Structures are given as structure tokens and as C-alpha cells.
Structure 1
């Protein structure tokens, strides 16, 4: 690198991008010293020319005189709040291993200056106990994405944790061949919505529990054969109907809800969910749901603040679950 003046302008950009921000401008003298450490000698006027060239190219480099004289990168592709949101998403994602979490956070930190990154790092925390240990996760996601785009089946080994005997961990492994339709991030986990070739429905499998993924030279089953969707798989609609990612037959459910839960209902089903006055303390709404164990558990989590009016089969299922719980505590 020594003596290579052709890269001087690029180095000036790198120094400003890595080390400068509104609170930490870099002076011309500092830039000359940084370049000298890379074996490039230059004069002050050449620094001004480099910065003018960078600005002409489209970078937003600002010159300031107070309280400290120098230059700083005024705008970046990502602002600090945006990077913070991305870092929080990565650290909270249970399907990303601790090692890959750390690597991703370091890459995200590079989107801001090093001084700004330091302020972000002091606020970042993740619990490695809640993270998966599947280091194949990147390859798996990439392979599943390709299979979805190419509409081809995939084969993989799926493992589930057994109940520990004498405090020893063990797993049950099963091989699946499926038609993949979508990757869905929900409930802090990554799921593959797919069809097991043995059945005529859609199931959801945890991506972090997969290994040895193989793309097969066999076309996926059309989604219309295994679901209500005619041409394409509607990820948003499907995801909204799922409860704890349990799949099931779709039904229209009419419920009476305590007014205290209107925010929870809108958070779950969207701001456009219909809410009709029922009495002074309740409202009524009708929603499309996937009838499953997850739905029953969700309804019961609100106690007596939600009552199912229709269909009767769901109301009966809630009553039966309540009786089972009561019996367990007798």
C-alpha cells in the first residue's frame, strides 16, 4: 500500500466513514497523519480536493469550525435508531446462534461510526441460553429460500428434544420430504410453512431444528392442492390466522371481548379488525382463525374476558380444556 497515491481518496472516505460523526469531526491534520501511517504523504490542499471529489460523487461530508474544526460524514445509509432496531432484532432472535449473533451485530455496527457503535454496544445484551446451537442455520435458510423460489421439494432431518433421563440430553430425529411455501418469522422463531408429501395440508416446522437440507429434483405440490390459496401462498393472511404457529382448518370465529382488550385484539389482527358494540363493557368481532390447540390456549389466556359465540365447536373445545385443567387440580 505504501506510496500508492491512487487509493488516497478512498482512504480519506474510509477514515471519515469509520471514525467521524457530528460529535467527532476529523481535522485535516488528523487525516494527513492517518494517511502517513498508510505510507501516503500529502499536503493539506490535496485533502480538500479529495473531500470535494467525494461530495461531487454524492457523499455528504460536512466541514465544521466549531466547537472543533474538521470534517464528518453527515448522512449514512442507516441512522442510529435504525441500526439499533436491527441489532435488537438480531439479539432477540432465538434461531440465530450466539456466534452468528455476535458476527451480525459487528457487521451492523459498521453501518455507523466507531464512536457511535461504542454507544450502541454498551446497551446490547442477549441471553445465550435462549439461542439455538445450529451453526448450519445460514445454509439452511439459503437452501430453503432457493427451494421456495424454484418451487422444488426439499428433504431434511428434523430433531426434537426428548425428556431428559438422569439429566442427559437426547434427541429424536425424523426425515421429512416437503414442498416449501414460505419462511415466517413469528414468536421469535423462524418457521417453514410447507406440505408433508404424506398429507393434504400445511404444517409449520422450526428452521433451527433442521439439518442436512437437500434440494430435490422434484417440483413442489401446487399450494392450491393443500390449502385455501388458489395461485400463490398468502404469507400475511396465513400468519395472522396462526396461533403459536399451530396449523389447522380455517373457520370464522365470532367472539365477545371485554373493552380492556381492544388494543390486544388490534395488535393481533390489525387495526382494521371490525369491532361492534355489544354492551357497555364489551365489543363483538368476527375473525378468520386456524382452529388448533394454539387457538384454544390463546382464548384461555384471557380468562373470562373473551367468550366464543360461534362456532359452537370452538366454544365446546374451550369448555373441555377448562374442565381438564380443573380436574388436574382436584
Structure 2
């Protein structure tokens, strides 16, 4: 058999054929394998293919041989990602609000490369990027990379921070000055990406929406805030900060009907302590960043939930409610 034009790439193309064309439910016969290689300008003999199959095992790619009647079939035994796992990855990409629709389609296309073309067709049937709100800042994908670079290099970053105006345009905050902070972590909360950083000027830990950050640059100055982040608990920070809005952190006692307990476990985790008050009611104490978003969450839970203490938070909620009702009188 004459040698093909891409003969030196035989092993590479053979792996490509087996990964793309075969899986647990789809196999190829040896003539079919040779035919697929020929499409890439590669000719081969059966014996050399058998040797290549053995070599593939060194790369973690096992080829299963299966006899069906008079024909012998070959297929990939397993993959780094199972079909169900790839479906989960695609679901995560689709649901992430901080990834634009354009970038979502690009990422999904790449993720589909983890499975065979037959399995990819199953994924295609389930892929649906709906009209939910997605960020319009295409650079968020690269912002995350820049922030990681700064964290790994122990450097500060500078960036411009934006907000929406009534004309649905992003405008610069604080007159377009550069924010300079020390990034320490990235947090995905409530379908948005946030950078957790230390602000030298205010000597505080703050957070910023990554999709509202632009013109990011890694600075030469080393990060500040090492002591503040030494014992920083990201989980507690996320639980206490409703909607990622700033507010004064306060220990709040909440009384609730026992059938509402799942709401608080979902929000604060299973480590919270319920204190029984009577047969049908319990209380818990949690650290909360007091904000209108927190009050709105309490309202949404209805009459079976009540803030008990501290008194200043109860009074603040009462005043907030009065002002809210005035608008509808």
C-alpha cells in the first residue's frame, strides 16, 4: 500500500477518528477505520493499527475490541468526561448570567468536543440558550483571567468601574477614575461573578461585579490586605451579603414557622442552629449585612417569618415598610 500524504500524522489522526467516531454505543470495523484515515491522506495496514491501539493505552485511551457475528468492531472504552457530566457543564454555561450569549455558544461548542460526534448530536437537541438576561460585557471572560493573573502574581490591579444609566448605557463611576485594589478571590454568587478585594483607601474588604469592570491592568505594587484575608471565610461572606450589596453586618434573630426551615437551610447551610420556641415555631441567629435587599427577602417569605432582634434592625424595617407603603397610599 502506498504511503499517504499525511503519513507522519497517522497516530494523531487515528486517535482523532476513534475519539470522534466511536463511543460505548458506536463502533467501527477495521475497514471503516482505514477508510476514515484515508480521508486524512493516511494509508495504513491492519497490523500497524493494532500496534497503535496498544500505544494509545499509554495515553489513557483504551480501545475495546468486540466481535459481532463475523465482523470485529472497535470503540473507545471511556473518556475524561461522561455524557452526563458534559450535559452538566453545558447547563452551567447556559445558566451563567455573566457569560454572554456569544461566548456561551463558543464555550458549548468546545465542550461538545469532549464527546463523540454521535453524543454531540444528543447535546445539540437539548441546547437552548433562552432570552434570560445575560451580561453584555463580552470582556468578562478575559477579566476573570486578568484577575487570576494578579492574584497568582500577588499584585494589585487598576480598572474602571461602570454602572447602567436610564438610557441603558454603561457609564463610568466616580468620573471615570481608576479604582486600585488588591484582589484576593473570585466569587460566583446569584448568577454573577464578583471580585473580592481589599481597598487600601478605606481599609475595607469590598466586592465588585466583574462584568462592570473594564480596562483592567495588573500593577507592579504588591497586594495589601494579607492580615484581613488570613482568616477570611468566603462562605460566611457570601451568606451574609444578600445580592452582594454592602451593609452593616449584624447578628439578627429570626423567628419562623417550622415548615419554613428549608428556606434558611438553603440560604445559610446546614450548620445553622435552630432554637425551638414552641411546638410550631423556632428561631435562629445569623450574621446579616443589613440592606433593603435583606428586607425585601424577609417580605418575600410572608407572615410565617419575623425579625425578633436587635431592636434597631426591627425599627429600621418598620421605617422601611412605612416609606414603602406611602408610595401606594
Greater mean deviation of Cα atoms: 229-238 or 173-182 = 229-238
Q: Does 1:237 align with 2:236?
A: yes
Structure 1 residues 223 and 326 mapped into 2: Cα distance closer, same or farther (>3 Å)? farther
Task: Give 5+ residue unaligned stretches, structure 2.
Answer: none
> Residue 244 of structure 2 aligns to a residue in which SS?
coil
- Please give the alpha-carbon distance, in whole angstroms, between the structure 2 residues aligned to 1:108 and 1:27: 27
Aligned to 1:260: 259
1:110 to 113, 118, 143: 113
Structure 1 residues 69 and 262 mapped into 2: Cα distance closer, same or farther (>3 Å)? farther
Deviations 1:16-74 (A, max 9, x none): 11111111111111101011122222222332222233235532221223488411112
On the 8 A contact 2:4/2:43 being kept in 1, the answer is: no
Deviations 1:94-127 (A, max 9, x none): 1112221111111111111111111012111113
2:20 to 18, 21, 44: 18
Aligned to 1:122: 125
Task: Give 5+ residue unaligned stretches, structure 1.
Answer: none
TM-superposed CA distance for 1:289, in Å, is 2.0
Structure 1 residues 43 and 230 mapped into 2: Cα distance closer, same or farther (>3 Å)? closer
TM-superposed CA distance for 1:132, in Å, is 1.8
Aligned to 2:97: 94
- Please give the alpha-carbon distance, in whole angstroms, between the structure 2 residues aligned to 1:38 and 1:45: 19
- Please give the alpha-carbon distance, in whole angstroms, between the structure 1 residues aligned to 2:9 and 2:154: 46
TM-superposed CA distance for 1:2, in Å, is 3.5
Aligned to 1:251: 250
TM-superposed CA distance for 1:270, in Å, is 1.0
TM-score by length of 2: 0.90
Greater mean deviation of Cα atoms: 205-214 or 131-140 = 131-140
1:150 to 125, 150, 153: 153
On the 8 A contact 2:255/2:305 being kept in 1, the answer is: yes
On the 8 A contact 1:98/1:128 being kept in 2, the answer is: no
> Residue 41 of structure 2 aligns to a residue in which SS?
coil
Structure 1 residues 66 and 249 mapped into 2: Cα distance closer, same or farther (>3 Å)? farther
Q: Does 1:323 align with 2:326?
A: no
Greater mean deviation of Cα atoms: 139-148 or 22-31 = 139-148
On the 8 A contact 1:245/1:294 being kept in 2, the answer is: no
TM-score by length of 1: 0.89
Deviations 1:267-317 (A, max 9, x none): 111122212222222221122222223222222221222111221222222
- Please give the alpha-carbon distance, in whole angstroms, between the structure 2 residues aligned to 1:308 and 1:113: 54
> Residue 286 of structure 1 aligns to a residue in which SS?
strand
TM-superposed CA distance for 1:256, in Å, is 1.0
Q: How does 1:218-297 map to 2 (within 5 A)?
A: 218-222=221-225, 224=227, 229=228, 231-297=230-296
Aligned to 1:49: 51
Task: Number of aligned residue pairs: give it.
Answer: 322
Greater mean deviation of Cα atoms: 30-39 or 45-54 = 45-54
Structure 1 residues 220 and 46 mapped into 2: Cα distance closer, same or farther (>3 Å)? closer
Greater mean deviation of Cα atoms: 141-150 or 101-110 = 141-150
- When the two chains are superposed, the root-mean-square deviation of aligned CA atoms in Å is 2.2
Structure 1 residues 18 and 297 mapped into 2: Cα distance closer, same or farther (>3 Å)? same
Greater mean deviation of Cα atoms: 124-133 or 95-104 = 124-133
> Residue 37 of structure 2 aligns to a residue in which SS?
helix
